[in-house]
């Protein structure tokens, strides 16, 4: 009986080994070898003492009990496998018998915003070159077409604004405006009867170019079309006066200089954007005359025209579209040229590199042009770059904001007389005469100087007492091209 029990136990143990071998993906040969080895041990009929037999019987009983439990069964339960198949089949049948879910309703498309119709804001009629300038609002990214009779003019909009110049004579016309976005008509045609309207600021009128939404002020025209040259007598008088001032200045400071930097108008730099009726003078200009005469008088002239023409088509603009002033990048280029000259004597005044400044691209309000058009200045934004110092500078400089926040319009503080002393003796000193263009260079000019005495904006009178007290190394004139008279006749 004991031998029979041992044989049964051995068979069960063999089954355990075989099952474990299958689960571990061992090869069939190793499993067969394990069985043969185990059977050979059984056939050898080893001898057991009584204690071993007792232990073996206990093990057999526990094994029989364990094998009777379905959870610990060492062999697959065929009845369980057979019963599982119909369960799976019935589950599939049950699922297939379920009704199809109702399709989710498609979301209703959001209603498209009502298209912004063309709204004419301003018209101006020019008698000298018979034409209407029409400015208004439209849909974003629209192409706007104006039609008078059988004639049409189409332009690309800018930030929801458009300007169209229509070469037509007469006091008024009926104009039909239509607009498209990506070739698709937007909104309904709008009909206006256009009449010339003179803005409150009659001294400056805007001249627009169709394709680029670029505006110029008519005060730029005389220097563009020519016919306004100075007579030699006026130039000779200016040369004598400037020469006397240089001698006077050098009686206080032997190495002093007078520097003139005349900023060309946007028309001078971008003649290709000026509307067709206006033809650029190809001969000598007033700026040519004054530059030559000042050089002959002994003054230093910083002429930025070539620099601006070299950089005019870069990503950062030199001038604004809706403002007559230079943009921060144009001012920076002029600053570099100015201090390239000054640093020949004062190496510490070498101009800062472009990457030493933070240039923030955004939509800004500039817009002295809209002021002259009687359009709210806050109503039109243009894309531009705002320059900030990315380095530490004396508080006397940084405490004066150049602009009015997001409005790139010069801050009133920059217009006042101001003396900035930084106590950096290795740098030169200067007295600055300026117009409103100075706002773009106000901080960086002073940052490269020890002392900067800003005379009040638009005050060009020579102040002998200031020269005696300050004994500046440089007297700098920073003037726009259309303000040349302030140099010539002062």
pLDDT digits (tens, 9 = 90+) for 118-152: 998 887 777 777 788 888 889 999 999 999 999 99
Q: Is the pTM of this model over 0.75?
A: no
Q: Quick check: 239 and 297 in contact, CB under 8 A?
A: yes
CA-nearest of 428, 483, 425 to 459 is 483
Q: What pairing do the DSSP bridges indicate for beta strands 143-148 and 151-156?
A: antiparallel
Residue 212 or 355, more confident: 355
Residue 229 to residue 289: CA distance in whole angstroms:
8
Burial, 341: exposed, middle or buried (Cβ in 10 Å; 0-12, 13-18, 19+)?
middle
Q: Hunting for tokens 């117009």 — which residue is that?
A: 435
| Domains and their CATH numbers in the chain | 119-197 (2.60.40.10), 223-488 (no CATH)
Residue 188 or 379, more confident: 188
Per-residue confidence band for 259, with pLDDT thresholds at 50, 70 and 90: very high
Residue 83 or 255, more confident: 255
Q: Bridge partners of 165?
A: 133
pLDDT digits (tens, 9 = 90+) for 368-394: 787 777 777 676 778 899 999 999 999
Predicted pLDDT of residue 45: 43
Q: What pairing do the DSSP bridges indicate for beta strands 300-301 and 143-148?
A: unpaired
Q: Quick check: 380 and 322 in contact, CB under 8 A?
A: yes
CA-nearest of 52, 12, 187 to 117 is 187
Residue 423 to residue 421: CA distance in whole angstroms:
6
pLDDT at 480 over 50: yes
Predicted pLDDT of residue 218: 85
Stretch among 29-33, 219-223, 275-279, 375-379 having the lowest mean pLDDT: 29-33
Per-residue confidence band for 116, with pLDDT thresholds at 50, 70 and 90: confident
Residue 210 to residue 275: CA distance in whole angstroms:
8
Predicted pLDDT of residue 326: 94
pLDDT at 68 over 70: no
Stretch among 266-280, 306-320, 420-434 having the lowest mean pLDDT: 266-280
Burial, 307: exposed, middle or buried (Cβ in 10 Å; 0-12, 13-18, 19+)?
middle
pLDDT at 109 over 60: no
| Helix, strand, or coil (residue 177) | strand
pLDDT digits (tens, 9 = 90+) for 271-285: 998 887 789 999 999
């Amino acid at each position: 009986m004991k031998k029979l029990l041992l044989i049964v136990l051995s068979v069960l143990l063999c089954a355990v080994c075989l099952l474990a071998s299958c689960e571990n993906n061992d090869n069939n040969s190793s499993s067969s070898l394990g069985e043969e080895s185990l059977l050979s041990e059984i056939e050898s009929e080893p001898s057991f003492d009584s204690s071993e037999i007792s232990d073996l019987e206990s093990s057999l009983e526990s094994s029989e009990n364990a094998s009777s439990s379905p959870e610990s069964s060492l062999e697959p339960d065929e009845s369980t496998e057979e019963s599982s198949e119909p369960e799976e089949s019935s589950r599939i049948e049950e699922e297939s018998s379920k009704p199809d879910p109702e399709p989710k309703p498609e979301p209703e498309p959001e209603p498209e915003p009502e298209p912004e119709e063309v709204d004419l804001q301003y018209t101006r009629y020019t008698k000298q070159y018979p034409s209407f300038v029409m400015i208004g609002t439209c849909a974003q990214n629209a192409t706007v077409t104006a039609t008078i009779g059988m004639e049409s003019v189409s332009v690309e909009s800018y930030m929801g604004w458009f300007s169209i110049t229509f070469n037509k004579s007469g006091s008024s016309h009926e104009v039909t405006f239509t607009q498209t976005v990506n070739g698709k008509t937007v909104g309904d045609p709008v009909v206006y009867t256009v009449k010339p309207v003179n803005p409150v600021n009659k001294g400056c009128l805007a001249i627009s170019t169709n394709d680029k939404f670029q505006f110029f002020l008519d005060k730029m025209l005389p220097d563009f079309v020519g016919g306004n040259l100075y007579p030699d007598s006026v130039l000779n008088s200016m040369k004598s006066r400037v020469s006397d001032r240089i001698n006077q200045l050098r009686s206080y400071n032997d190495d002093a200089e007078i520097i003139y930097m005349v900023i060309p108008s946007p028309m001078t730099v971008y003649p290709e954007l000026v509307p067709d009726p206006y033809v650029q003078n190809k001969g000598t200009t007033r700026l040519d005359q004054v530059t030559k005469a000042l050089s002959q008088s002994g003054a230093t002239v910083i002429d930025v025209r070539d620099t601006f023409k070299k950089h005019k088509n870069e990503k950062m603009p030199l001038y604004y579209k809706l403002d007559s002033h230079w943009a921060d990048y144009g001012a920076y280029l002029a600053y570099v040229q100015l201090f390239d000259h000054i640093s020949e004597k004062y190496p510490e005044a070498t101009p800062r590199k472009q990457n030493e400044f933070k240039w923030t691209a955004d939509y800004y309000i500039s817009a002295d042009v809209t002021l002259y058009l009687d359009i709210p200045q806050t109503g039109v934004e243009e894309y531009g770059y705002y320059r900030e110092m990315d380095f530490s500078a004396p508080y006397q400089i940084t405490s004066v904001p150049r602009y009015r926040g997001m409005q790139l319009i010069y801050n009133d503080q920059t217009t006042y007389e101001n003396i900035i002393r930084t106590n950096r003796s290795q740098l030169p000193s200067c007295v600055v005469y300026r117009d409103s263009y100075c706002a773009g260079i106000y901080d960086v000019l002073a940052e490269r100087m020890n002392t900067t005495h800003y005379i009040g904006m638009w005050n060009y009178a020579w102040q002998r007492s200031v020269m005696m007290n300050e004994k500046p190394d440089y007297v700098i004139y920073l003037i726009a091209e259309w303000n040349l008279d302030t140099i010539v006749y002062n």
